[in-house]
A and B are shown apart, each in its own frame.
Chain A
Amino acid sequence: MLTWLLGLLILMIKLGVVLGCLLFFAAYLVWIERKLLARLQVRIGPNRAGKFGLLQPIADAIKMLTKEDIVPQAADRMIFLLAPAIVAATALLMFAVVPFGPDIRVAGRPVAMVISDLHVGLLFVFALSSLAVYGVALGGWASNSKYSLLGGIRGAAQMISYELALGLSLVPIVMMSGSFSLVDIVNHQARYPFLLVQPVAFVIFLISAMAESKRIPFDLPEAENELGAGFHTEYSGMRFGMFFIGEYVHMQVLGALVAVFFLGGWRGPWLPPALWLMIKMLAVCLVLIWIRGTLPRLRYDQLMAIGWKVLLPAALINLWITGIVVAI
């Protein structure tokens, strides 16, 4: 009984730390993104709220919380209110299987530096990213606006299309490490990161994960200029903010997954493991922002063409070659 309670306590602490860090970084990722994008465009960026605009995320939060919260009269109220939560929750849940370091010993008992080391960790990640599609599709549908509905369907179609390439790009990783557990995958990269042996899978994973998390240049769901935004047209205030918290958490998840699958996870010299994972995560996020600052948004047919005609065949060929090499 006591061991069980202690286990629960440790789990609660881990959850609190991880959730707190995630949400804090999500807020500051917005600041980093705005600042970095500004510098890429030879602007200054946010600098009014606090030194270097460091209080900007807080100002944004206050603004969103105090804005009028509108629920369309004919909306399916329950689902309308639930959709942003689905998007944010699925993104947050993905961190349950991300390992932050090797097991450490606290008071003589081993504590895993991961919330839950699932044997099917990779499948868990995919399951959750499939669930995120519901947030988008239901958000669009529950708004009871044809415009949002189309936006939701468009977003869902995009996310589902890229999920195939995303999954297939990681099968070689599973073949090489022989496990679905993220901890095992990191442990298999003790000698060299998988980036060196699977560069094609890395590129496919990065591109399709960007499309999956609706990052620019695949951000058609919120194409505010040419399509006038999609599934979240009817959302306002913090509900709208929830979608974007989900998106920025997803961005961190993406960084963490790239780090775990291709960059050797927490491994690195001198610094503590968790710090290495954070550095790798941040590096991936910075690259994503750089991509956002450079590439224009894709047209919808181009988006679908890249997903189905380029990434999916490339992932299949990569899988085939890896299969042959592993078999030999």
Chain B
Amino acid sequence: MNIDPQNKRREDAPMPVLEAVKALGEGFATTLKHLFRRPITEEYPEEQRPLPARSRGRIVLTRDPDGEERCVACYLCSAVCPVSCISMQSAEREDGKRYARWFRINFSRCIYCGLCEEACPTCAIQLTPQFDHCKRDILDMVYEKEDLLVDHCGKNADYNFYRHAGILTRAHAKGAHPDEEAPVDVRTNLP
């Protein structure tokens, strides 16, 4: 027996008739009012709401501003992936730069957590706002490198890993990559 302190009557006791009729009337008036409102439904396939750039949808492999593949096949994304849906095989180019010989993401397992994107040192793997990729056959959800690789820079338009990191390759010495700054000689900082 709950007593409503405001009304001083049992909650399950019948309402006074007039009060009940008024409450009913209010309800009916509300729904009737809604009848003359414009529907707020979004008709999805026709009307697509733009999602924020950082939404975590389908994963792509981006290129650097020079049009080269960013991915250096370091396996960090694969290692951090909680559902192990990323796999690859690393290889080395003529000039000593690493790349992925093949790169595979099984989207039927992917949980779009974005950890791979955070782990990637070269900003290669990125999540896009495209959330609606689905296939009739589950095997079609396994994306190969050629399906993943896009020809733009994604979210980091001017980031080039090789310009920031003093990486030794067969083509260039440390700090000798195009526009790269030479590494700091730590000994010059000694007192």
| Interface residues in chain A, defined as those with a beta carbon under 8 Å from any beta carbon in chain B | 36, 38-44, 47, 290-291, 293-295
Q: Is the CB of B41 within 8 A of A43?
A: yes
Chain B: minimal CB distance from A296 (Å): 9
Q: How far is the CA of A294 from the CA of B28 in the complex (A)?
A: 6
Cβ contact of A290, chosen from B32, B38, B43, cutoff 8 A: B32
Say how far A309's CB is from chain B's closest CB, in angstroms.
9
Given A43-B41, A44-B41, A44-B43, decide whether A294 and B35 contact each other with a Cβ distance below 8 A: no
What would be 15 A-B contacts, judged by CB atoms less than 8 Å apart? A39-B34, A39-B35, A40-B31, A40-B34, A40-B35, A41-B34, A42-B37, A42-B38, A42-B39, A42-B40, A42-B41, A44-B41, A290-B32, A294-B30, A294-B31
Are the CB atoms of B34 and A42 closer together than 8 Å?
A: yes
Kindly report which residue of chain B lies nearest to residue A38, judged by CB atoms.
B39
Q: What distance in Å separates the Cβ of B101 from its nearest Cβ neighbour in chain A?
A: 46
| Shortest Cβ gap from A207 to chain B (Å) | 12
Of all chain B residues, the one with the shortest Cβ separation from A302 is: B12
- Give complex CA distance A38, B31 in Å: 11
Q: Is B27 an interface residue (CB 8 A)?
A: yes
Take A39-B35, A42-B34, A42-B37 as given contacts and tell me if A294 and B43 are in contact as well, using a CB distance cutoff of 8 Å: no
Interfacial chain B residues near A38, Cβ < 8 Å? 39
Query: A39 to B38, alpha carbons, bound, how many Å?
Result: 8
Give Cα A42–Cα B34 distance, bound, in whole angstroms.
6
Nearest CB in chain A: distance from B97 CB, A: 52
**Are A43's CB and B39's CB within 8 A?**
yes
Would you list the 5 A-B pairs with minimal beta carbon distance, nearest first? A294-B31, A44-B41, A44-B39, A40-B31, A294-B27
CB distance from A107 to the nearest CB of B (A): 47
Q: Inside 8 A of A43's CB, which chain B residues have their CB? A: 39-41
* Binary contact readout B41-68 vs A (1 if CB under 8 angstroms, 0 otherwise): 1010000000000000000000000000
Within 8 A of A (CB), among B9-40: 27-28, 30-32, 34-35, 37-40
How does the 8 Å CB contact mask read for B90-131 relative to A, with 1 for contact and 0 for none?
000000000000000000000000000000000000000000
B32 proximity list for chain A (CB < 8 A): 40, 290
Report the minimal beta-carbon distance from A35 to chain B, rounded to whole angstroms. 11
Chain A residues whose C-beta falls within 8 Å of the C-beta of B38 in the assembled complex: 42
A74 to B54 CA separation, bound complex (whole angstroms): 56
Residues of A within 8 A of B40 (CB): 42-43
Residues of B within 8 A of A40 (CB): 31-32, 34-35
**How far is A47 from B43 in the complex, measured between Cα atoms in Å?**
10
Q: What's the minimum C-beta distance from A300 to chain B, rounded to whole angstroms?
A: 15
Q: Are A290 and B41 closer than 8 Å at their CB atoms?
A: no
**Nearest-Cβ distance from residue A65 to partner chain B, whole angstroms:** 25
Question: Nearest Cβ in chain A — how far from B43, in angstroms?
Answer: 7
15 more CB-based (< 8 A) A-B contacts, given A39-B34, A293-B31, A294-B30: A38-B39, A39-B39, A40-B31, A40-B32, A40-B35, A42-B37, A42-B40, A42-B41, A43-B39, A43-B40, A44-B43, A290-B28, A291-B28, A294-B28, A294-B31
Residue of A nearest to B37 (CB): A42
In whole angstroms, what is the CA distance A295 to B38 when docked? 22
**Which residues from A are CB-within-8-Å of B28?**
290-291, 294
- Cα(A124)–Cα(B109), bound, Å: 63
B contact residues around A44 at 8 Å (CB): 39, 41, 43
Report A39 CB to chain B, min CB distance, Å. 5
Task: Report Cα–Cα, A268/B48, bound state, in Å.
Answer: 50
Q: How far is the CB of B7 from chain A (nearest CB, A)?
A: 19
Report Cα–Cα, A290/B43, bound state, in Å: 25
Q: How far is the CA of A291 from the CA of B27 in the complex (A)?
A: 10
Q: Give the distance in Å from the alpha carbon of A290 to the alpha carbon of B28 in the complex.
A: 8
Q: Which residues of A contact B27 (CB under 8 A)?
A: 294-295
Assembled-state Cα–Cα distance A39/B37 (Å): 8
Report Cα–Cα, A291/B39, bound state, in Å. 20
Residue of B nearest to A291 (CB): B28
Q: Which residues of B contact A42 (CB under 8 A)?
A: 34, 37-41
